[in-house]
Amino acid sequence: MSTPLSRIREQLKVVDLLFEVRDARLPLSSSHPASKELFGNKPKVLVLAKYDLADPEAVSHWIRSFEAEADSRAIALSLKNSRGKNKLVDLALSLTAPKREAHKRKGLLPRAMRVCVVGLPNVGKSSLINWLIGIKKAPVADRPGVTRGAHWVRVHPQLELLDTPGMMPPVMFKGEQSVKLALCNVIPGDHYDIDEVAERGLILLHSIKPECLNVYGITRDVEPTLEHVARARACLGPGGKFDLKRAAAIVVSDFRAGKLGRVVLDFENTVQETAFAAAELEE
């Protein structure tokens, strides 16, 4: 039976380069947990999308870390303007130059290098395609899993992209990683409890950048709770009780919209907490 992972393995057989898209707020947590097994040693450009929502200094640190790997380059993009487009194309051409030279030495006819766009759902894969070609060809929506099919798109005389479906891996995300992914809208809404995500998200944000919670009256020396948010935003229910569900929705919405400032939720020593479904990985 065909699975997302088996289809991606088939696609990878015919591509020369990978654009792996991650959320710039989650440079590590939004990676595919089986990326090494899936992608092997193929040259790769790591695209940190939604850069306009992430802390620039922290992103720069992550880029330096990623580029220490062989055959790997990294770039941060907002995809809301054209800045960085030429740099991304240049990175792709640079990484595929050895293969083009090898084709030339063998006397093969020149062809466009094939690039596969991969990543978790809702990290910005289709947005990247649209951004590169300048028109809306690949379907985009603000929810995980909107892309249904795969197709080639020419983005440069020497480059063509294969847009792939969002590939939620066959794993159960756990612990802090699941909270981060839910906050950034990578995990579908019916896979988590918004109250828990918001509550734990407040604690996480307070530990990373406490000043971002000042909008809720939460100071550095206060243990953050949803009650603080409900009080600050006048979230009251029947009987004058605090409406914590509404407060949780506000926290998640504010974070996703960048209203709490530019934040990166991953540290270099972040542990990926996932449980693999080994049978499906072997298909």
The dotted CATH code for 4-169 is 3.40.50.300
Question: Which pLDDT band, with edges at 50, 70 and 90, does 153 fall under?
Answer: confident
Tens digits of residue pLDDT in 59-117 = 999 999 998 877 779 999 999 888 899 999 999 999 999 999 999 999 988 899 999 88
| Comparison of pLDDT for 269 and 197, the residue scoring more | 197
- For residue 22, the cross-strand partners are 48
Rounded CA separation 29/26 (Å): 5
Q: Which of 114, 42, 101, 38 is nearest to 72 (CA)?
A: 42
Q: For the chain, what percent of residues have pLDDT higher than 90?
A: 54
Domain ranges for the chain: 4-169, 172-256
| Mean pLDDT of all residues in 159-165 | 74
Write out the CATH class of domain 172-256.
mainly alpha
In this structure, of 20-24, 155-159, 276-280, the range with the lowest mean pLDDT score is 276-280
Rounded CA separation 195/7 (Å): 36
Give the model's pLDDT for residue 45: 94
In this structure, of 31-45, 107-121, 162-176, 204-218, the range with the lowest mean pLDDT score is 162-176
| Comparison of pLDDT for 40 and 65, the residue scoring more | 65
Supply the pTM of this predicted model: 0.86
Q: For the chain, what percent of residues have pLDDT higher than 70?
A: 83
| Mean pLDDT of all residues in 13-42 | 87
Rounded CA separation 66/177 (Å): 19
Rounded CA separation 205/225 (Å): 12
Rounded CA separation 139/124 (Å): 11
Tens digits of residue pLDDT in 250-275 = 999 999 999 999 999 998 655 455 44
Q: Do the Cβ atoms of 144 and 121 come closer than 8 Å? A: yes
Average predicted confidence (pLDDT) for the chain: 85
| Mean pLDDT of all residues in 231-236 | 96
Number of neighbours of residue 223 by Cβ within 10 angstroms: 9
